Structure 1
Amino acid sequence: MSEVQDRIQRHIDTLVATGAETGVQVAVYQDGALIVDAVAGTADPATGRPITSGTPIFSFSTGKNVTATLAHLLVAHGCLAYDSPVTDLWPEFGVHGKATATLRHVLTHTVGLPAMPREITPAELPDWSRVCESLAAAEPRWRPGAAVGYHSYTFGYLVGELARRATGRSMGELLREWITVPLGIEGQLYFAAPKESLPGLARLEQRARQWPAAPDGGDAILAPWESRPSAVVGNNGEILRADIPSVGTATAHGLAAMFDAVLRGELVDPARLARLSALAFEGTDQVFGTPARMALGFPIGRMGAPAAENSVALGWPGGGGSYAYADPARGVAFALTKTRLVPNFDTALSVTTILAEHLAGTR
């Protein structure tokens, strides 16, 4: 057992033993080698079923990492172009001033549709056509490309509908064809989990009954269910089986293996990787009021990294505390998934700190 594997394993064991967590997975690749594969706790507190590195966990917006990667693969395959208008494939989307929107705007969360239309609730999310029809008819909060704001649930449908119209296939089908089968990680990354897989998924647990309000006015834009992850939603069989590519069900190993393949050029060529990780839009997030630095499809910077590090890592956290990122400068792919939903990222930050200390000591 390596030193960093041992440190992270002991750390997450302690988190479970003290009751801070119920089930945790951590996976880290460096330059193609799996250097951490650690698990602790249970997949289902009610039965005591142990969690393994192969137990998929509904991890909310960590699924955006997969969706963004697929968007780049769609461009690489010639199905889409970053600067082609959305209306080239989706003509009805152009109403209310959205005709100038492009895939670039979708990927940088600048298209102007951060919130789902009011008629869309969690119960409607599995109805792909209804959601996309509502988004096409919606009025943007700002002119596409004029500002940035976190597109919590709309992001996956915008990318996915372009993918469907360009290829005739769902995001779940493309995920299997272009990522999980080629990488040998079937059963570790899902948008729509197969019915037969549901008994093997982890069960989420809500730490706090009352989730805090979203910071800096986010509740004024996003519906509460968009900004506050719920175990009720994450354990719902209809949601788990639906193609909702703004969120995802994943193992930490599956997420890290995907990002490792991106870094090694197995999924995208080096030129595309450089473009993928370059700054594409910078501004103040109109949903949360916080600074936002966006690459095409990903926020830039490792969460919690000190300013002096000048991190070029990219990757999405997931509501409730999960996190995945790729660091091209260090050849590192990291993922942490967990079963207990909390309104902070303390566990992810503590584990990434251990990893950062290890990497600093090996330079």
Structure 2
Amino acid sequence: MVNGLQGRLQDVADELVRSGAERGLQIAVYRHGELVADVVAGLADPATGRPVTPGTPFHAFSAGKGLTATVVHVLAERGALGYDTPIARIWPEFGAHGKDTATVRDALTHSTGVPGLPADLTPEDLCDWEKTCALIAAARPWWEPGTATGYHSYTFGHIVGEIVRRVTGTPVSQVLREEVAAPLGVAGELFLGVPEAELGRLARLEDVPGFAEAPEGSPALAVAPRGVRPTAAFGNRADVPSAAIPAGGQLTARAAARMYAALLGPVDGVRLISPDRLREVTAPVVDGVDRVFGNRAVLSNGYAVGRLGTDPDDTPTVFGWAGSGGSYAGADTATGVAFAVTKNRLAADFGTAQTIAALIAGAA
């Protein structure tokens, strides 16, 4: 796999930028704990000409869900929480309106029944941790918790993040930094909220024409209301990437790939979870129709199962999460490969990440 992969991926990245399909991107690949490709191309900020470097963080929207889920597994490894613990035992207010049966596992599999947020929610509201958590805790579930799954676009992050905060007494962003990023040597590249002093390092996002549009009645607006749609204008705000909104994250491809590699096995002596926990973490828990979007959803504990662009039944050893606009990070337990793709030109499809995933899988 090592021979030639860096060059092939660099050629692909350069052509994507040259063609105008992408503005700037990163691709990183680990295999059995070793970095075998670290590719960058294009511009992080077209207005200034700042180039993408391997250390440029991208606001990767829901690709950050994998970071938040990983924090839970690191804590579970230590016995700090259990997947079948009722959330209300940790966060009593969450038990309102019959949600007392919802478990940590339900939160990880988008099954708590509270995917929605008020239609008039503002970015300032979403950046207010206490306010958003109170809204979610007081919400009536759309379905009986644990009986169905439906994409919890933003609420996933606050539910899981508040579980972490209640268990540890520490914000999830700090737990990620101290328990995941720092041990892996990527504390400056893996965030659930970037320090304000480092916001200038972020790549600037831009929308492909039409990406930001969402017609009235779209199920997307029920879980990500118009005021907090995951667009370039939203992600480029100073308050959003610096706030704790752990349904999304800020990351470099090499840092995200390194984290997933450390779930699979040791990376420079650091392993985040045991082999037994890895099997539990990656085993499918949910296989059903998504109650929000109507698609088939195959989920393990905190991750989507299956390689991008393939039937989950054909690639059941792949786990990870994609971000609105086209970023992705994940790993394959069968091959020992972990990889990530970050990009700043937001598109409605995952064509770039799918192409790169297929190329990497073919080389494994």
CA contact (8 A) 1:228 1:319 kept: no
One-letter code of the match for 2:308?
A: M
TM-score normalised over the length of structure 1: 0.95
Which residue pairs with 1:221 in the alignment? 222
Secondary structure of the equivalent of 2:334? coil
Which of 317, 328, 336 is equivalent to 2:333?
Answer: 328
Q: 1:292 aligns with which of 297, 304, 321?
A: 297
- The equivalent of 1:346 in structure 2 is 351
The answer for the alignment partner of 1:78 in structure 2 is 79
Distance 1:64 1:83 in 2: 20
Q: Is the 8 A contact 2:66 2:303 kept in 1?
A: yes
Contact 1:30 1:331 in 2 (8 A): yes
TM-score where L is the length of structure 2 = 0.94
Alpha-carbon separation, structure 2, partners of 1:233 and 1:320: 12
Matching residue of 2:53:
52
How big is the shift at 1:326?
A: 1.1
Partner Cα distance (1:296, 1:308) in 2: 17
Q: Map of 1:95-110 to 2, 5 A cutoff?
A: 95-110=96-111
Q: Deviation at 1:229?
A: 2.2
Q: Which amino acid in structure 2 is aligned with residue 115 of structure 1?
A: G
Distance across 2 between alignment mates of 1:340 and 1:153? 21
Aligned-partner SS, 2:74: helix
Q: Secondary structure at the match of 2:100?
A: coil
> What is the rounded CA distance, in whole Å, between the counterparts of 1:306 and 1:300 in structure 2?
9
Q: Secondary structure at the match of 1:42?
A: strand
Task: For 2:281 and 2:213, locate their aligned partners in 1 and report how far apart those are by CA, in whole Å.
Answer: 33
Contact 1:57 1:251 in 2 (8 A): yes
One-letter identity of the residue aligned with 1:249:
Q
Report matched runs for 1:29-44 at 5 Å: 29-44=30-45
SS at the partner of 1:39?
A: strand
How far apart are the structure 1 equivalents of 2:346 and 2:127? 22
For residue 12 of structure 1, report the CA deviation from its aligned partner. 0.8
Aligned to 1:202: 203
Aligned ranges for residues 184-263 of structure 1 at < 5 Å? Answer: 184-209=185-210, 211=212, 213=214, 218-219=219-220, 221-225=222-226, 228-263=229-264
CA contact (8 A) 1:212 1:343 kept: no
1:130 and 2:135 matched: no
Shift, 1:125, TM fit: 1.2
Change (3 A) 1:150 1:214: farther
Of the structure 1 ranges 343-352 and 305-314, higher mean CA displacement relative to structure 2 is found in: 305-314
Matched, 1:283 2:266: no
The Cα RMSD (Å) is 1.9
Q: Residue 356 in 1 paired to residue 361 in 2?
A: yes
Out of 265, 276, 280, the position equivalent to 1:271 is: 276
The answer to whether the 8 A contact 2:306-2:312 is kept is no
- Stretch moving more, 164-173 or 228-237: 228-237
Q: Which amino acid aligns with 2:55?
A: G
Q: Counterparts of 1:182 and 1:72 in 2: how far apart (Å)? A: 15
Q: Are 1:305 and 1:311, in contact at CA under 8 Å, matched by a contact in 2?
A: no
Displacement of 1:217 in angstroms is: 5.1
The residue type equivalent to 1:190 in the other structure is F
Q: Take 1:324 and 1:3, find their aligned partners in 2: how far apart are those partners?
A: 22
Counterpart of 2:200, as a letter, is P
- C-alpha contact (below 8 Å) 2:322/2:328 kept by paired residues: yes
The AA in structure 2 aligned to 1:26 is I
Q: After TM superposition, give the deviation of residue 335 of structure 1 in Å.
A: 0.2
- In 2, Cα distance between equivalents of 1:335 and 1:69: 15
Q: Alpha-carbon deviations, 1:308-358, whole Å to 9, x = none?
A: 743310010000000111111110101000011111111111111211221
Structure 2: runs of 5+ lacking an equivalent: none
SS in 2 for 1:143: coil
Per-residue CA distance 1:228-283 (angstroms, 9 max, x = gap): 52111111111111111100010000100000011005000000000001111111
- Paired with 1:82 and 1:27, the residues of 2 have a C-alpha distance of 31
Work out whether residues 215 and 288 of structure 1, in 8 Å CA contact, stay in contact via their aligned partners in 2: no
**Residue 90 of structure 1, CA deviation:** 1.2
Read off the aligned partner of 2:326 and give its amino acid letter: G
Kept after mapping to 1: 8 A contact 2:126/2:245: yes
Query: C-alpha offsets along residues 105-153 of structure 1, whole Å, 9 cap, x if unaligned?
Result: 1011110011223453322111100001111100000000011001000
Alignment correspondent of 1:16: 17
Deviation of 1:71 after TM superposition, in Å, equals 1.0
1:239 alignment partner, SS class: helix
Determine helix, strand or coil for the equivalent of 2:170: coil
Amino acid in the other structure paired with 2:331: A
Residue type of the alignment partner of 2:300: A
How many residues are aligned here?
A: 359
Q: CA deviation digits over 1:176-197, x for unaligned, max 9?
A: 1101110001111111101111
